[in-house]
A and B are shown apart, each in its own frame.
Chain A
């Protein structure tokens, strides 16, 4: 690869270009699509965990003034593809989980739709359901884990190493079920124009990828892709839950088809999001570490048990980060799934890495304690020269530098390793550390065009901005690739009218779309030189990076936490979180900091607060709103710092960027758990860490 782009606009902390529109309310979100004469849809959800709908009585709902239609499995249109069972809505009376949509009301107002939905009576043939993730229950081995990793890996003899090691750690750790809960609920406005061959469908959908959403919807309805347009300039958060279309998108489109020419709006309520918008599976992680007295690992193993829904598999790659983190001659990772009568799990910020760096990073802390070695030092002693999984060299790996920089900034060196000995003003105080990692993902396809208009450069690509900063950062990349001031660049994203872009997932956006923009800029300059005429246009696409075959590419980080535990009540507060990341070149420090800090806050939330309480008797998450499902609030976050190293990696892509959207959440919960242990001497291995788990052990 030739040298990196000369950074001029890249690296400056430009304000968000969409900021003013958002804070003044001028930015329109999916539900606010500017359409006339909209109808409104509201789903009816199953109230059994498994079985069949035997009859749906819609008479009372239909009799209500203002009700336009009630769709059920008996009258809804047959979809062209039902291969994706999550999207095969209203195709049969089968109920696969509680909360599944079994009817849809379309009405003149959202209030009427909601009222009518209440009036629909459903009879069921109920079967016994199973919603309990039990490591001793029926499990199976998936073919691959998300998206296409080997399910199991094994090298050497872990059992042998465990038997002969000086010190071992063998513990089970669990993470809870989590829901993404973006502020903007999942929402779609759909319009079928009956004209043409089979009509045209426009979707204003809150999505992380307009083109992937279009492909999915076109396939489900048997349409050509050019019959479908998906528009999404702004997204109020997604965290993965808007990465693939869920049932409501198909429902909105089906409802629109039932009232041709009339737009239909559908927004999920917060409780509905707990059944219909994906979530992170709970995980059970059995860890084994073996080491000699110097802390050098001879074995590392993780055996993961997690759940999926019976109708559609999603296998979270929880064991995968363990394959890369530390050197050890004997290694094993496995994944086993329970297929349950539960909603369909899906992506949530850093699938795999986020839960998968909890057990291992707490286990490392336990090992450090057993050995009497500082936990930062223990990690440094197990730094591999090459990727232990593939044997490839790293394109850059600065975990050790992150640990050292973080330790210096955090004041780690003054740390007294003894747990449970610092009591100040009624609070037990402790500090903890954990490593962080996230792979460099580049998606195979994305195209951008650049056109000269009135002396400015218009960049078009169907990319997404989930609040991450794409509107701004793509302009910075285009400016440097074209060697023009960033003010001369206009970026157009979030519409399938623009060239094809990949999903905003796997922290791949900047890498993939940015590469396409750089290619387009090069093509543009090649064709039109430095003095283009109005209307000149060139296109560029991301291409495979040959280096990806030869190098292991990852961002790394180190997370430090200070925990205070009330000696009377066990209440836990985290006044200080500090992360240092090595994630390639940072395109915009302002938007990057907010990504890192957002991830860290979400990790804190996972450590202390979040848990979706599944009531196995009913089969649904019972704390399904934001009053009862706790996410960290401002008051829970105090001194929150994200720093990064100046990392130069010329192998990853022409911008030298690695993804940053997800790494902030990775390792945070382990750092907090380790800090709580240091504060109290209590080792909590099951998230979230709540006061009832500490109370019995407090003085």
Chain B
């Protein structure tokens, strides 16, 4: 573990300047991902700039939706009655992740920026293009159970591990940023990247961009929403696949829907093809399955030493069908 400086500036703009001016500095949120990476040598920053008390720890009403300060802890966000009532998928996504202790530390700003759990990324003795560009991708031909079936490249096949981020993608949330050049917003669905030939870049953020808040839109259908995480044990495991979905029903007709997948791509996967396939349809298992198949038409499973991950295609199909059955109440 490399020694580092710890800095605790008193304003967000100071924090942004300290990081923007120092290529070796990084923001510190709850530290539940970053501190692990310091110990493992995966992250080797020269300075940590603590931002946990510089962004809001409040959840406030804004334009019919909610504005969540980046300093809000995952446990507090999951417990907020407004979130539970108006955006149940957000609370469910949070509670399905990590453990109580971790959620008490983890922040709204840090959670979407946690890095992949790819075992080769986390082990500095194995080549990894994300950690060390150009060194190669050890996952290809290796342990791929938790890896991508959508949007991967020959340079990286990792998945994004955050559950919250999948819910926020489905909701089309807004990321509020403070950068060296001032404030701006990014649509949540645009925050994360596909790996392409730059797997070292998880997001579109520039060095020194601070997440100050995340906005949830005024979206009535989110009241009829859910987050379904499929995993290898009942708690404290990352998703094999997950589905975040909301449905707006008119009788049996699907007026509108929002769907995102987790555990299948380098970013939370916005399932627009499935949404398009469902919009205007009568709810029914065949339509649900067709929507999943449309979204997964280009899925490219990986072989691997532990059986690979081709099972994710039927698993995700079945999970989406189950989720839509539950949300629509239509079982046939």
Contacts and interface: CB of A to CB of B under 8 A. Distances in A.
A47 B3 CA distance: 23
Contacts of A628: 117, 119
Interface string B108-139: 00000000010110110110000000000010
B6 interface: no
Nearest to A119: B2
A114 B232 contact: no
A569 B142 contact: no
Interface stretch (A429-437, A632-640, A669-677): A632-640
Interface in B21-69: 39, 41
A691 B240 contact: yes
Interface string A606-627: 0011010111111010111101
B322 interface: yes
Given A47-B125, A622-B142, A691-B315, A118 B322 contact: no
Interface string A680-695: 0000000000111001
A628 B143 CA distance: 11
A219 to B, nearest CB: 33
B306 A613 contact: yes
A257 to B, nearest CB: 26
A568 B318 contact: yes
Contacts of B1: 111, 114-115, 118
Contacts of A611: 306
B118 to A, nearest CB: 10
Nearest to A632: B233
Contacts of B41: 118
B141 interface: yes
Contact of A633 (B123, B126, B236, B305): B236
A87 B39 CA distance: 27
A593 B2 CA distance: 46
Place the interface of chain B in its size category.
35 or more
B220 interface: no
A695 B319 CA distance: 12
B230 interface: yes
A114 B311 CA distance: 40
Given A111-B3, A627-B117, A616 B307 contact: no
Nearest to A686: B307
B234 interface: yes
A568 B233 contact: no
Nearest to B237: A630
Interface in B214-255: 230-238, 240
Contact of A609 (B122, B142, B233): B233
A272 to B, nearest CB: 12
A303 interface: no
A698 B318 CA distance: 11
B329 interface: no
Contact of A636 (B233, B307, B322): B233
A124 to B, nearest CB: 12
Contacts of A627: 117, 236, 238
Given A118-B1, A622-B120, A570 B233 contact: no
Nearest to A638: B234
Contacts of A695: 311, 314-315, 318
Nearest to A118: B41
A691 B232 CA distance: 8
Contacts of A692: 307, 311, 315
A696 interface: yes
A615 B307 contact: no
Given A609-B233, A636-B233, A690-B232, A696 B314 contact: yes
B321 interface: yes
Interface in A622-678: 622-625, 627-628, 630, 632-636
Contact of B119 (A47, A617, A622): A622
Nearest to A692: B311
Given A115-B2, A622-B120, A633 B235 contact: yes
A616 B141 CA distance: 10
A636 B234 contact: yes
Nearest to A111: B1
Nearest to B146: A628
Contacts of B322: 426, 568-569
B233 A633 contact: yes
24 contacts: A47-B125, A111-B1, A114-B39, A118-B2, A569-B319, A570-B315, A573-B234, A608-B232, A613-B143, A613-B306, A614-B305, A615-B305, A617-B138, A618-B125, A620-B125, A622-B120, A622-B123, A622-B126, A622-B143, A627-B238, A630-B232, A630-B237, A635-B235, A691-B315
Interface of B: 1-3, 39, 41, 117, 119-120, 122-123, 125-126, 138, 141-143, 230-238, 240, 305-307, 311, 314-315, 318-319, 321-322
